[in-house]
Amino acid sequence: MSKTTEKLILDRLDTITRILALQVGADKSLTDRVYLLTLSGLDNATMAEVLNTSPAAVRALKSDIRKALKKRK
């Protein structure tokens, strides 16, 4: 497989990932969506792009989520 074909496949997969990520928890809060997207393995930059926010905001929300989960235990 040529590099051009591999690049095209990776670009298409990236597009599919972003489209599916947009659908995750569309009726949920931003915090809930960050939690769900974190479970799916997306990185902060991709989550920020999909959620139309900054990577710093995603990091802060993830920190809040971790703190809330620790309190539950």
Give the residue numbers spanning the domain of 38: 3-72
Residue scoring higher pLDDT (2 or 44):
44
Cβ atoms of residues 47 and 58 within 8 Å: yes
pLDDT in tens, 41-65: 889 998 999 899 999 999 999 999 9
Domain count, the chain: 1
Confidence (pLDDT) at 19: 82
What average pLDDT score do residues 1-17 get?
86
Confidence (pLDDT) at 53: 95
Place of tokens 């999909």: 50
pLDDT in tens, 29-39: 999 999 988 98
